[in-house]
Chain A
């Protein structure tokens, strides 16, 4: 018996396959919708629900029958947010996560900020979602009290059921939903004290894990629907390159190829490429057809060369730059210094290389567009798709799948805009644009190549009297505003402007550089290179002074104080006392100062980023020219912790991400063209290279801060210091492996 199977309907949210959903459909007419966020408070009815549903906020849906639904309005890319956000809601709503359905939101401003970057999802929703849960709980309890004619104080809530302690009466949230929907939304719901938390602060496994390990989870590439065609796009070799002509005759001979046509570039939409699209019945035919294209390109003016960029950046930092921060008189300090220590730190362009290459499915039909994509930023995607297709914002729907890794790459919707342009030419037919790995590596939004220069003045006693740091790199804003050169405050604020050490004379300067590549944010963004320079310089200075690098840091930090440079820093200014504490904790955890076995060296780094404090010790050795990283010990203070196991996982991930680029990461450019293409020439860390990772979390009830990115910046400088100990050589450039080997 032979059988051919094919999925016949799109499975956008994995939740739709869950058994318990089958009970969620009933009959009904009117239902009440309330909003919790201040601008949404108020009730209104809709008639289109198949079941009465109580919406105490845009993030919670309580049907009369069936499972409560919690809305995850930010995107899951491995950081655990589809687990953490529902934990915030469930804690205050008093429901069990295993009893609810988690629904991924579409891109819609009614959910507030959905741009999932900057390690900000928990921080931005910490109060909002807990209050949404608490307000709903208060309304449901009030409804029960009124129904039974008892005091609210005699009622107890457990796992979505209200119990009357004075009798055996009980009612589920669903049973109370219609009455609760008639009540006013409390404006200041009472939040539980941390001592009463049963969900927050406890290890919780990712809600998507069961689907992931059985192959049932839906990522961007897994969208399937009747009539779907697959596209592959050949882009110009350079940013700004243009199509002159193409011959599709051989491409069309590939079995399964249906269409070959050109799409225009979208230079004002994050410099989105155009090119020649091959659309086929399946992915292989699309890729094979693409390989058969004959195309003539006008390469445009792009001519960048990595070696020349290195020289240009170094020349910039050897001159004077835009003054960013100035304290005391660095020039005088330098003139009177007993010694001036000078160092240049270089690092190359980096690409994200998430395991899932960019992919997007778009259906244009009847004046509307529907998108299914692994995007970090569904609202921007929706806006730009509407603009690209000449539609209204309301005519576009952006559904979000799981993201198979992102690291900042999928914050840019270029792949969605390309897919939209292709789908527009095939109106009525859904089209999935699948990028190859080579596309992902060659058409990225790269972490900037950089040069950092630090000049440090020492007096006769070795005391640090002056610090000049000049940073030079191409700005991310050039992606949004072609031609922009000067860095934005958000870039300089990442480990540069907020240099935390107490030094009497400080001069911080910045110089921009016009790159021929598209520049973007990659996990931890500018912190990666600012932490590299500041930590390496501090470690070198400690060595020159004959001091232990941990003790040297603590001395330079001095008495606890808050470092703030703008109103935006409040209430999250850099508290040097918290930095001191993680430095001490990481040092203790790592057994800092003890002799290591097998010729291993110990290196240290610390950094404040995304409002979180991290210190890290790395143990490494060199065996036959190959770097071996044995252990990484990390202490982290991110304020209140939602899911400790996720925090530990994110540090483990940060170590792998950091070691990958510290050892190997390097994108080079020649004649404006990226030379790497796949994991064979852009190597990343393998399992055999994985060190032990130990994490100490500083527990506090301070407002929560970032987790996904802050672990990355200290990895490279701590490894650099460890290798310096092992070989006696100073390393100032990344990546390291080729220098040590």
Chain B
């Protein structure tokens, strides 16, 4: 039986086992490889996507649980790649290897959607278990604040 969901604004029907984690449906079946596999136990954040606007770890959500829901991946965060976070990430030259960055950006985007003036504590609690082994944490914090500032100014 096929499972229908919306990914980045486009409806897709998948004929897959409903136990398959959303992560692998996105990557292997739909070809959205921007979302990464890091741990498989929701402890590293590399697979973070939005499900109906909420940041979720796609490695532990079964595809059967997102039937009919709307999923946003890094590829769909912005049509132009110009989301304030994406611009700020470039301004601060955040990435090193870059593998975790889609998850970091998606986690931060969910935060800024509700809070355009986050404190360090807000950022830290949102990005807990969003692991970056290269050590870009300082720049992530700075970039989130820059993006938040831009979003406040635009309002």
Contacts and interface: CB of A to CB of B under 8 A. Distances in A.
A binds B: yes
A213 B89 contact: yes
Given A214-B81, A356-B36, A436-B40, A284 B24 contact: yes
A5 B130 contact: no
A577 B20 CA distance: 60
Interface string B99-129: 1111001000000000000000001110111
A678 B39 contact: yes
Contact of B33 (A76, A221, A434, A692): A221
Interface stretch (A61-69, A402-410, A497-505, A729-737): A402-410
Contact of B97 (A7, A221, A405): A405
B111 to A, nearest CB: 12
A684 interface: yes
A542 B93 CA distance: 40
Which of A357, A402, A405 has the most chain B CB atoms closer than 10 A to its own CB?
A405
Contact of A2 (B13, B24, B89): B13
A649 interface: yes
B128 A693 contact: no
Nearest to B10: A3
B37 A357 contact: yes
B155 interface: no
Given A284-B17, A687-B130, A690-B141, A654 B135 contact: yes
B135 A656 contact: yes
A610 interface: no
Contact of A657 (B77, B101, B128, B135): B135
B137 to A, nearest CB: 4
B17 A2 contact: no
Interface in A645-689: 645, 649-650, 652-657, 660, 678-680, 684-688
Residue among A210, A212, A224, A679 with most chain B CB within 10 A = A212
A23 interface: no
Given A78-B134, A215-B75, A404-B98, A355 B36 contact: yes
Interface in B65-102: 73-75, 77, 81, 85-86, 89-90, 93-102
Nearest to A283: B24
A77 interface: yes
B57 to A, nearest CB: 12
Nearest to B99: A404
A206 interface: yes
A230 interface: yes
A656 B86 contact: no
A404 B29 CA distance: 22
Nearest to A523: B133
A456 to B, nearest CB: 34
Interface string A334-357: 000000000000000000011111
Contacts of B140: 687
A205 interface: yes
B134 A215 contact: no
A79 interface: yes
A690 B137 contact: yes
Contacts of B85: 213
B39 A213 contact: no
Interface string B30-59: 111111111111011010000000000000
Nearest to B90: A209
A282 B20 contact: yes
Interface residues on A, range: 35 or more
Nearest to A355: B99
B133 A283 contact: no
Nearest to B31: A7
Contacts of A285: 17, 20
Contact of A210 (B32, B90, B125): B90
A5 B30 contact: yes
B131 to A, nearest CB: 6
Contacts of B30: 4-6
Contacts of A244: none
Contact of A693 (B13, B31, B124, B138): B138
Given A213-B105, A282-B28, A652-B136, A684 B131 contact: yes
B98 A205 contact: no
Contacts of A680: 41, 43
A406 B152 CA distance: 38
Contacts of A3: 10-12
A356 B102 contact: no
A218 B34 CA distance: 9
A652 B77 CA distance: 28
A653 B135 CA distance: 4
A687 B43 contact: no
Contact of B98 (A2, A209, A686): A209
A510 B133 CA distance: 32
A80 interface: yes
Contacts of B14: 4
A283 B28 contact: yes
A222 interface: yes
A208 interface: yes
Contact of B96 (A7, A79, A213, A687): A79
Contact of A77 (B31, B44, B97): B97
Contacts of B125: 688
B106 to A, nearest CB: 9
Contact of A355 (B32, B38, B105, B139): B38
Given A205-B93, A215-B33, A657 B17 contact: no
A355 B46 contact: yes
A405 B102 contact: no
A210 B81 contact: yes
A255 interface: yes
A591 B72 CA distance: 47
B31 A6 contact: yes
Contacts of A27: none
Contacts of A437: 38-41, 44
A139 B14 CA distance: 57
B95 A208 contact: yes
A562 interface: no
B49 to A, nearest CB: 10
A482 B42 CA distance: 37
Given A4-B14, A214-B86, A657 B98 contact: no
A355 B124 contact: no
Contacts of B10: 3
A214 B74 contact: yes
A444 to B, nearest CB: 14
Nearest to A436: B40
Contact of A686 (B13, B97, B128, B136): B128
A321 interface: no
A332 interface: no
Contacts of A1: 11
Contacts of B97: 76-78, 354-356, 402-406
11 contacts: A3-B11, A3-B12, A80-B96, A219-B99, A356-B97, A357-B37, A402-B98, A437-B39, A655-B135, A656-B132, A678-B41
Given A213-B102, A357-B37, A690-B141, 8 more contacts: A215-B75, A283-B24, A288-B19, A355-B131, A356-B97, A679-B129, A686-B127, A688-B125
Q: What 3 pairs between A and B have smallest CB-CB spacing?
A: A215-B34, A656-B135, A404-B99
